[in-house]
Chain A
Amino acid sequence: MPHQALEDVLRADRGRLLAALIARTGEIQRSEDALHEAAASALVHWGRSGVPDNPAGWLLRAAWRKTIDGWRRDGAAARNRAALELLAAEEAADPDPQDIADDRLRLIFTCCHPALEPKTQVALTLRTICGLTTAQIAAVFLDAEPAMGQRLSRAKAKIAAARIPYAVPGPELWPERLNAVLTVIYLIFTAGYTAGPEAGLELCGEAIHLARLVDALRPGEAETEGALALLLLTEARRPARVGPDGATVPPSDQDRTLWLPDLIDEGFGLLDRAMARRAPGPFQIKAAIAALNAAPLPTDWPQIAALYTRLLDWEPTPVVRLNRAVALAQSGALATAAEVIDVLAAELDGYQPFHAARADLRLRQGRSAESIADFDRAIALAPHPADALFLRRRRAAAMISAPSRANQREDEKKGRAEARPKSNREV
C-alpha cells in the first residue's frame, strides 16, 4: 500500500527529512516544496514498482533531485555542481534513514530565533518541526488561513534575506536561545491546555514531543529537563482539572486518583536530575512549583512563594508577581500579599487571574463586598466556562460570609487561621 507507506514515513520522518533538506539547500520554502513534490512522485513510483526498502532515503534523494532541477531552471549552476556530487555519493551509498544526520535541532533554533515575533516562532515550529498544516496553525491562533499563510511566508523570506543562521547557537548565545526554544514549546503546550482536547489538535502532545526531541538531541541540559518536567507534571493532572460538575478544580482539591502516575513519576525524576546539575533556571523553578502542587497535601505554600521570589530574578513580570502574591495569601501572609496585589492593579486590570486572586485575598481579609465585586469582574473576564463556574461557586461562598458589616469586622478579628476555599490559580 504505497499510500499507507508514504503516510507512515512522513509521520515518522517528515521533520527530519525537511531539516536534512534545509541543511543542503539553505532554503526552507524550497525544501518544503521539494519534499511535497517528492511525496507526490512517491505515490506514482511506489504504486508502479513497489515501496522501496528505504522509503525515507528514497524521499530525501527525490526531494534533493527536485531541488537541483529547480536550481538548474533558475540558472544557479555553481550551486548545482556541488549538489550533484553530493547526490551521486548519496545514491551510491543508499544510507539507512537512521543515518541521515538529524538536523532538527538547527531547524528548531532557526524557527525560534529572536529576530522573529514570538507568535511567528510558534507558528513556524508547528509548521516545520511538527508538520501541522497552515489551516491547523491558523485554527490554533483563531486566525484566518490566508493571514497565517502570509505570516509563515514572510518569516521564511526574512530568514533567507536577513540570513538568520541555520545553526545550533554557540556557548555565548546558548542559554538565551535555549530559553527561547523552551518558551516556544511551553507556549504550544499552554495553547493546547487552554483550548482543551475538544479543539481537535493535540498541541500538548506536540509540545511534549518537542521537549523530548530537544532533550534527546542535546542531552544533559538542566533547563530542557526542567521544561519537560513542567509539561509532564501539568499534563499528568489534566484528567482531574475539571470536576464532574464542569467547574475547574485547583490542584490541591483535585481527585488525585485521576492523575496519571507515570507522568508524575517521570516529571519528578526529570526534575531531580535537572536540579542535581546545579545550573538553575526559570523552567526548573516552574517545574519545582508544579512538583510542589503534585506533592502530598498539605501544599507547601511558603515554599511555593519562595520559588516565585526566585523566579522574579529571571522573569520580573507582573504575572509572576501576581502568582507570588497568591502563594503568599495561601500561606497566610495576607498583608504582604495585599501590598503586592495593590501595586499590580493598574497593570493587570484586564487579566482575569488578577481579579480572581484579589477576590480570594479580600475574602480572606473579610472584605466581602469588595471581594464579590472582584469575583464579578473575574467571571466577566473568564476565558472558559469551567473557570467561570468555579468563580461563581467562590462568589457564592463570599456572599455567605458577607451578611453584615458587623460580621465582617468580626471576621477580621478572627484572623487568618480560618480555613478558606482555595484560589483558582493553577501553577
Chain B
Amino acid sequence: MVPCDPEPKGPEMKYLLLLYAAPDAEPAYGTPEFDAMMGEYMTHSERMKDVASFIAGEGLQPVATATTLRKRGAKVETIDGPFAETREHLGGFYLIDAPDLDAAMRYAAEIPAARYGSVEIRPVMEY
C-alpha cells in the first residue's frame, strides 16, 4: 500500500503555560537557592529551544496587587484580589510554539515552578 506518512505536523501550535505556586513554596529572595532558580528561569528558554519556541512570558507581581472585575449589565463590579482565593497563585506565564502536547509538556516540566508549584498547559484557541 501507499505508505502513509505520519500525520504532517502542520504549523506549530500555541500553548499558554500558567505557573501556579504558593508564595511561600518558592525559595526566598536573597538565598543562593533563589539565585539558582532565577538563573534557571533566565536560561530555560534557550536550553529548551529545540523542544518548543518561546514567544512571550512574564512573571507577575504578587496577588495582593491583583484587581478582578466583571461587568453585569451596565455595572462594573470590582474585587480587590485575584479571581479565586486559593493557596497557589498565578505567578507568571509563558506563551510558546510547540509541535504537540508532548513537546509542550517537556518544555513545561523544565520550568522551576513545575517543581515547587504547578504548570497548567492550555492550548491557545485558533480562529
Which residues of the other chain, A, contact B105 by a CB distance below 8 angstroms? 115
B13 CB–A CB distance under 8 Å: yes
Contact A95:B7 (CB < 8 A) given known A164-B100, A164-B101 = no
B56 CB–A CB distance under 8 Å: no
Report the contact-size class of chain B (Cβ under 8 Å from the partner): 10 to 19
Contact of A162 with B123 in the complex, beta carbons under 8 Å: yes
Contact of B123 with A161 in the complex, beta carbons under 8 Å: yes
Which residues of the other chain, B, contact A24 by a CB distance below 8 angstroms? 4
User: Which of A89, A103, A169 lies in contact with B102, CB distance below 8 A?
Assistant: A169
Contact bitstring B60-101, A, C-beta under 8 A = 1, else 0: 000000000000000000000000000000000000000111
Docked Cα-Cα span, A90 to B121, in Å, equals: 39
Contact of A101 with B7 in the complex, beta carbons under 8 Å: no
What is the CB-to-nearest-CB distance from B91 to chain A, in angstroms, rounded to a whole number?
22
Contact of B123 with A90 in the complex, beta carbons under 8 Å: no
Which residues of the other chain, A, contact B2 by a CB distance below 8 angstroms? 86, 89-90, 93, 95
Which residues of the other chain, A, contact B106 by a CB distance below 8 angstroms? 172
- Residue of B whose beta carbon sits closest to that of A99: B1
- Residue of B whose beta carbon sits closest to that of A24: B4
Which residues of the other chain, A, contact B121 by a CB distance below 8 angstroms? 162
- Residue of A whose beta carbon sits closest to that of B123: A162
Contact of B1 with A95 in the complex, beta carbons under 8 Å: yes
Docked Cα-Cα span, A23 to B6, in Å, equals: 7
Contact bitstring B87-127, A, C-beta under 8 A = 1, else 0: 00000000000011110011000000000000001010000
B30 CB–A CB distance under 8 Å: no
B32 CB–A CB distance under 8 Å: no
Which residues of the other chain, B, contact A318 by a CB distance below 8 angstroms? none
Which residues of the other chain, B, contact A90 by a CB distance below 8 angstroms? 1-2
- Residue of A whose beta carbon sits closest to that of B121: A162
Contact of B102 with A165 in the complex, beta carbons under 8 Å: yes
Contact of A101 with B4 in the complex, beta carbons under 8 Å: yes
Contact of B100 with A163 in the complex, beta carbons under 8 Å: yes
Docked Cα-Cα span, A294 to B2, in Å, equals: 48
A100 CB–B CB distance under 8 Å: yes
What is the CB-to-nearest-CB distance from B14 to chain A, in angstroms, rounded to a whole number?
11
Docked Cα-Cα span, A172 to B7, in Å, equals: 21
A203 CB–B CB distance under 8 Å: no
Which residues of the other chain, B, contact A103 by a CB distance below 8 angstroms? 4
Which residues of the other chain, A, contact B7 by a CB distance below 8 angstroms? 23, 26, 166
Docked Cα-Cα span, A38 to B44, in Å, equals: 49
Docked Cα-Cα span, A165 to B2, in Å, equals: 22
What is the CB-to-nearest-CB distance from A141 to chain B, in angstroms, rounded to a whole number?
25
A20 CB–B CB distance under 8 Å: yes
Which residues of the other chain, B, contact A106 by a CB distance below 8 angstroms? 6
Contact of A93 with B1 in the complex, beta carbons under 8 Å: yes
What is the CB-to-nearest-CB distance from B105 to chain A, in angstroms, rounded to a whole number?
7
What is the CB-to-nearest-CB distance from B5 to chain A, in angstroms, rounded to a whole number?
9
What is the CB-to-nearest-CB distance from A165 to chain B, in angstroms, rounded to a whole number?
4
Contact of B123 with A163 in the complex, beta carbons under 8 Å: yes
Q: Which of A79-96 contact B (CB under 8 A)?
A: 86, 89-90, 93, 95
Docked Cα-Cα span, A352 to B47, in Å, equals: 49
Which residues of the other chain, A, contact B59 by a CB distance below 8 angstroms? none
Docked Cα-Cα span, A39 to B105, in Å, equals: 38
Which residues of the other chain, A, contact B99 by a CB distance below 8 angstroms? 163, 165
Which residues of the other chain, A, contact B1 by a CB distance below 8 angstroms? 90, 93, 95, 99-101
Q: Which of A51-104 contact B (CB under 8 A)?
A: 86, 89-90, 93, 95, 99-101, 103
Q: Which of A341-368 contact B (CB under 8 A)?
A: none
List 21 A-B pairs, Cβ < 8 Å: A20-B4, A23-B4, A23-B7, A86-B2, A86-B4, A90-B1, A93-B1, A95-B2, A101-B3, A101-B4, A103-B4, A115-B101, A161-B123, A162-B123, A163-B13, A163-B123, A165-B102, A166-B6, A166-B7, A167-B6, A172-B106
Other than A86-B4, A165-B100, give 16 A-B pairs with Cβ distance below 8 A.
A23-B7, A93-B2, A100-B1, A101-B3, A103-B4, A113-B101, A115-B105, A161-B123, A162-B123, A163-B13, A163-B99, A163-B123, A164-B102, A165-B99, A165-B102, A167-B6
